[in-house]
Structure 1
Amino acid sequence: MTTRRLASITAGLAFLAAFAASPARAQETVLRVAMTAGDIPVTAGMPDQGFEGFRFVGYNLYDALVGWDLSRSDVAADIKPGLAESWAIDPSNNRRWIFRLRQGVKFHDGSPFTAADVVWNFERYTREGAPQFNARQFAFARPYLGNFESIEAVDEHTVAITTKQTDSLLPYNMSFLMMVSPRRSAEVNNDADAFARNPSGTGPWRFSRMVPGERLELVRNPDYWDRARVPKTDRLVLLPMPEASTRTAALLSGQVDWVEAPAPDAIPRLRSSRMQIVTNAYPHNWSYQLNFVDGPFADVRVRRAANHALNRPDFKEMLGGVALESYANLPPGTPYYGNPTRYEYNPQRARALLQEAGCLPCRVTLAISTSGSGQMQPLPMNELVKAQLEAAGFQVTLQTMDWNALLQVGRDGRQRHQGVHGINISRSLQDPFNGMFRFVWSRQAAPAGSNWGHYNSPEMDALIDQALSTFDPSARNAILARVHEKMSEDAVMLWVVHDLNPRAMSPRVRGFVQAQSWFQDLTPITMSAR
C-alpha cells in the first residue's frame, strides 16, 4: 500500500469517526407541543384561539412594538421594548405617544422594518377602504384599539400614535398588535388567507408548513434581531388537542414533548413516569361575564347570590390543588388589589338574596366551551358550578360550544345573544386595561370592546378616565384599587378560581422558565438526547 493511499484512508476514517461522535449536529432538534385549542391558531398576524394563539403563534411568528419580559419566574411579567426601542408621551400633547423603532430589523422575507410598515399595519387593522384592511383581523385587534385615533410616521424610524383621550396605559395595548410584512402581503394581493399560508413577520420563528386542523410547523429564525432569543431548537411543532386525556396519552406515548393543562387526576401518573409538572401563579381568572341588560343578572342581588353560592375550595380540590380560590377579579398580591368585598360560600344568603330579588327559582343560561386557552378543565368545572348554583336556588342551562364559537359570542356582545345570561371565558389580568377596564368601561361595550354584558356606571367611567390621565404609577395604583373595589361591590362577574398554569413536559425538555404570564418564551428551550 502506498504512503499516499494509507494517508487517504486514515483521513477518511478520522472523518467518519468525527461524524459518528457528533450525530446531534446533523440531527434536527424538534419541540412538539399539544395545545388545548381545537384548531390551529390563525397565522395571518392577529391570532384567534384566545391567548393560547398569542402564546404559540402570535409571539413566535411576529413581534409587536412592545414585548413582554418572560425571562423570570419569580416576578409578574411586565412589558419591555419590542420592535420599538423606547416610547414616551409627547411633552406638548398628552394624547400623543412617540415610539422610536429598532433599526436593522428584517421581516422573514428579507424586507427591512420601518415606520412606514407600522403605519401600514395599523391601517390594516383600522382603516376600512385601505387595500390591506381585513375585517377579521380588525375584529381580533379591536379590543386593543378602542382609544386609538391616528398614527403617523415622523421619520423612517419613528411613529407617533394619538389617542382619543389621554391614555397612560397605551403601551400595554401596543403589545398585542402584531406587525406583518407589507411586502409579503402585496405578493398575495393583500389576501389574508393566502398570506396565512406563507406568512412573514419579524419573530424568532419562521413558518415552515401547515396541515390544516392537524399541525403547524415553525423553524428557527437564525437572523432574529434579538440575538439572545434566537431559538435553541430547530423546529417547533404545534398540535391542537382539545381533550385533556388525549394530551396526557400523547405525552406518555412520546408523541409530544409538552402538553398544556394536563388532566389533574393524571398528574400523579405523569410524575411517576418522570414527566416534569410545572406550575406558577399568573394573572388569570376563571369566571363568567354577566349580562347587565337582559335577564336576572341585571339585578345586583342576583349577581351577589351567584357568588355566595359557590364553594371555591371544592373547585381547587377538583383541580388537584392546582388553582387559587377567586373571591374578586384580581388575585391578592396585585399592587392595586385594594379591599374588595369577599364573597364567601353562603348558600343560605344566596337563596335569601334570590327571594328578595323575586327570582326563585332563578333561571339562567351560561355559554361555555369544551376546551380553550386558560379554560382549565371547563366541562367538569361548569358541571360543578351548575350543581352549586342550583343548590342555592338557580336553574342553570349550560350552552356548550367550541372555544372559537364562544369567543365570537364574547366579541358580538349580549345584544346578539339575548338568551345568554353569562359567558365562561377565562380572562387575562396582566395589566389594568386588560384585567379590569375592558370589562367595565362603557366605551368598551361589545362589539366595540370586551364589555360583553354592557355594564354601565358613570362612577366607574370617571375612575377609569382618572386612571388613564394619571402617569405617576403610585397615584394611579390608588385609583386602580378603587376600580377593583367597585367591580367587587357591583359583583360584575361570577368569580371561581385563578389558575396556576400547569404544564407537563418530557424529561428531555430543558431550559424552560415558566413566567408569571399567559405568554411563555420557547426560545431558550433545548431538547436532550433520548
Structure 2
Amino acid sequence: MLRHALRLAALAGALTAAAPASAEAVLRIAMTAADTPTTTGLPNNGFEGMRFLGYPVFEGLVLWDLTRTDRLAGLRPGLAESWEQAPGDTKTWIFHLRRGVTFHDGTPFDADAVIWNLDRYFKPDSPQHEPAAAGITRARAPIVAGYRKIDDATVAITTTVAASYFPYMAVYVLFTSPASFEKAGRDWAKVGTLPAAGTGPFRITRVTPREAVDLARNDGYWDAERRAKVDRVRLLPIPEANARIAALRAGQVDWIEAPAPDAIPSLKQAGFAITTGSYPHVWPWFYNSGATNSPLKDVRVRQALNYCIDRDGLVAFLNGTAEPSVGWLKASDPNFGNPQNRYKLDPQKGKALLEAAGYTAKAPLALKAMISTSGSGQMQPLPMNEFLQESLKQNCNVDVSFNVVEWQVLLNAARAAPDAPQLQGANTLNVSSPSSDPSVMARYFSSANVSPKGFNFAQFKDDAFDRAMAMLAESTDPAEIAAATRAAHERLVDDPPWLFIVHDLNPRAMSPRVKGFVSPQSWFVDLTLVSLQEGATR
C-alpha cells in the first residue's frame, strides 16, 4: 500500500505540474505500462504502446477501421489512398500515397519519407537505423524483402513470399518525420524527447519519462472529418491495478485500462462506466519447446497441460471479464475448425498424457514461467498466474515456479532464441497475443518466423500448418482462404505451441465525463471520437 500511495503522490504532482492554464478539455488516461512507451515513432510496451503512442500520433500506409463494434476491425486507407499487388507479381505491392499530407513539423510526407523510414527499420547500415524500433517492426512485418520509390507519390514493397495478408502487416509500420532525426543531431534517444513529429490526429507536446506524455490535437490533420474532439490527452503509466482505481476514484484520471475485476461492482455502483467487449485477444503461455532438453518438445506434454487447467474457474475469478480459450481463435469463430482435441478441465486425461511422456507422481513435471507484473493485454497477471499455478498442481501434480519481470523485459524475451541467457531457463512465457487476422497467425506460428528472427517463440514447425498457410497466402479466393485458415487453426489446437487459457473481454473503467468512446473489436481505439462533458459527476 505504501508503494501505491507514493505512486499516487507522484501522479498528483505530475498532474498539477502539467495542468494547462486555460479550461481545455484534457483526457487523462492511466495505462498499465510501468513506463511511458517510447516516443520516436514506433513505441515499445506492446500494443498498449501502439494504442496510445502509436496510431494517435504516428500513422502507417494502412490503418485500422476502429469505428464499429459489430465485427472484427478491418483495414482502411491511411497514408496510402490505395494499394494493390503488382500485375503479374504477387510478391510486390504498390502503394499510392496520399498527397498533401505533412508531418507535425510542417515537412512533407512523400515517397522519400517512406523510403527513409523503411531504411530506418530494414536497412541496418543506414544512418537512421533505430535498432529497438527495427526489432519490433521486423518481428511484425518479417516478410519485407525490399522496397523502392516509383515516383513522389508511389512506392513498391516486395515480400519474400506471396502474402495475400500483407496489408495486415503494413498496418504496423509507422512513419516519423526525417526532420525529427536531423533536429535531434541524428540521435534517436534525443528524438524521443524533442518531441518527434508524426502525421496523426494528435501531436506530442511533452515527454516526462516514468511520469507522463502529453498530446495536443493536431488542428491541421489531413482528414478534417476525423479531427479530435478533446484538446489534449495526458497518458500516465500506472502499472498497479489498485493504484489505477484509486486515481480514478480520486478524479485524477478519467479512464483506466484493465481495472481489477473484484473492484468492478463497486465502480459501477459509484457511477463509473465499465466497458467490455469481445476482441481478438488470447491470454496464453508460450511454450519454450525449442530449448535444450525442454519437456515441452513432447506434444503429449503440451496437450496435457491444456487438459489440466480450470478455465471456467479462472473466468469466475475474473468476475466474467474473460472467456475460456481452447485455441488461438475463439471456439465460436467460424475459422476455429474441427480439431481432434477439445480442451476442457480433464485431470484424468491430462495425467495419462503426462504419464505416457514419463512424468509420474514420483517424478512430476516442473516448469518455470516468466510472467510480468502488468502490461498491454496482460489483464491481471499476478493473481491469474497464481490461480494457474494452483490449478496445475491440484489437477495434474505439475510444479510451477515464477520469474516475475517488467512487461518490456518479457516482450524482449519473447523475441529471443530458446536458450538465450535472458530467458533464465524459462519453460513458458505469459505473453498476451492478438488473434486478429492471418498475418498474425503467420507471424506467431510460421516455421519461417522462429525467434529470434520473428515471433514464433515456440519454434513451432508443423508441416500441415505450413502447407495451409502457404495456400492461404497465395490465394485471393475468400472461400479458399477460409478453408486454409480452418485447416491451419486445427493444427494449432492438436499440435499446440501454447497453453491456451482465456480470451480477454477488454474491460475499461471511465468517468461519466467521457463521452463518445467506441470499444471496437480490436486492440486499438480511436481517440478522435472521444469527448469530455464538463460538469458531469459520479
TM-score (norm 2): 0.92
Correspondence for 1:223 among 211, 220, 224: 220
2:85 aligns with 89
SS at match of 1:59: coil
- The one-character-per-residue Cα deviations of 1:20-60 (angstroms, maximum 9, x if unpaired) are xxxxx962110000001111001111111110000000011
SS at match of 1:414: coil
Once residues 404 and 139 of structure 2 are traced to their aligned partners in structure 1, the CA distance between those partners, rounded to angstroms, is 24
Shift of 1:136: 1.1
Task: Assess if the C-alpha contact under 8 Å between 1:67 and 1:79 holds in 2.
Answer: yes
Can you give the 5+ residue segments of structure 1 that lack an aligned partner in the other structure?
A: 1-24
Once residues 438 and 334 of structure 2 are traced to their aligned partners in structure 1, the CA distance between those partners, rounded to angstroms, is 10
Once residues 224 and 312 of structure 2 are traced to their aligned partners in structure 1, the CA distance between those partners, rounded to angstroms, is 45
Once residues 72 and 332 of structure 1 are traced to their aligned partners in structure 2, the CA distance between those partners, rounded to angstroms, is 22
Residue 345 (1) aligns with residue 345 (2): yes
Once residues 445 and 180 of structure 1 are traced to their aligned partners in structure 2, the CA distance between those partners, rounded to angstroms, is 29
Shift of 1:393: 2.0
SS at match of 1:420: coil
* Equivalences for residues 417-428 of structure 1 within 5 A: 417=423, 419-428=425-434
Once residues 425 and 406 of structure 1 are traced to their aligned partners in structure 2, the CA distance between those partners, rounded to angstroms, is 7
Task: Assess if the C-alpha contact under 8 Å between 2:419 and 2:425 holds in 1.
Answer: no
Cα root mean square deviation, aligned: 1.4
Once residues 317 and 184 of structure 1 are traced to their aligned partners in structure 2, the CA distance between those partners, rounded to angstroms, is 49
* Equivalences for residues 8-157 of structure 1 within 5 A: 27-157=23-153
* Equivalences for residues 358-507 of structure 1 within 5 A: 358-360=358-360, 361-391=364-394, 392-416=396-420, 417=423, 419-434=425-440, 436-507=441-512
Shift of 1:427: 0.2
TM-score (norm 1): 0.94
- The one-character-per-residue Cα deviations of 1:112-137 (angstroms, maximum 9, x if unpaired) are 11011111110000111111111111
1:308 aligns with 307
Shift of 1:397: 1.1
Correspondence for 2:230 among 233, 257, 261: 233
Structure 1 residue identity aligned to 2:333: T
The structure that has the greater radius of gyration is: 1
Once residues 346 and 517 of structure 2 are traced to their aligned partners in structure 1, the CA distance between those partners, rounded to angstroms, is 42
Q: Percent identity?
A: 43
2:272 aligns with 275
Task: Assess if the C-alpha contact under 8 Å between 1:354 and 1:393 holds in 2.
Answer: no
SS at match of 1:98: strand
Shift of 1:437: 1.8
Once residues 347 and 333 of structure 1 are traced to their aligned partners in structure 2, the CA distance between those partners, rounded to angstroms, is 24
Structure 1 residue identity aligned to 2:34: G
Shift of 1:273: 1.0
Shift of 1:351: 1.1
Correspondence for 2:528 among 499, 502, 523: 523
Shift of 1:304: 1.0
Residue 356 (1) aligns with residue 353 (2): no
Once residues 439 and 200 of structure 1 are traced to their aligned partners in structure 2, the CA distance between those partners, rounded to angstroms, is 31
Shift of 1:332: 3.1
Once residues 333 and 173 of structure 2 are traced to their aligned partners in structure 1, the CA distance between those partners, rounded to angstroms, is 25
Task: Assess if the C-alpha contact under 8 Å between 2:365 and 2:398 holds in 1.
Answer: yes
Once residues 303 and 385 of structure 2 are traced to their aligned partners in structure 1, the CA distance between those partners, rounded to angstroms, is 18
Structure 1 residue identity aligned to 2:233: L
Shift of 1:418: 6.8
- The one-character-per-residue Cα deviations of 1:49-76 (angstroms, maximum 9, x if unpaired) are 1100000000111010000000011221
Structure 1 residue identity aligned to 2:514: V
Task: Assess if the C-alpha contact under 8 Å between 1:30 and 1:236 holds in 2.
Answer: yes
- The one-character-per-residue Cα deviations of 1:357-393 (angstroms, maximum 9, x if unpaired) are 0023001111110100101110010001111111212
- The one-character-per-residue Cα deviations of 1:132-171 (angstroms, maximum 9, x if unpaired) are 1111111111112311111111111011111111111110
Once residues 133 and 219 of structure 2 are traced to their aligned partners in structure 1, the CA distance between those partners, rounded to angstroms, is 28
2:196 aligns with 199
- The one-character-per-residue Cα deviations of 1:302-347 (angstroms, maximum 9, x if unpaired) are 1111000011111111110111111111013434221233211111
SS at match of 2:382: helix
- The one-character-per-residue Cα deviations of 1:437-484 (angstroms, maximum 9, x if unpaired) are 222211111111001121122332222222111122221110011000
1:19 aligns with none
Task: Assess if the C-alpha contact under 8 Å between 2:142 and 2:443 holds in 1.
Answer: no
Instruction: State the aligned residue count.
Output: 506
Once residues 405 and 315 of structure 1 are traced to their aligned partners in structure 2, the CA distance between those partners, rounded to angstroms, is 26
* Equivalences for residues 296-335 of structure 1 within 5 A: 296-335=295-334
Distance 1:418 1:28, change over 3 A: closer
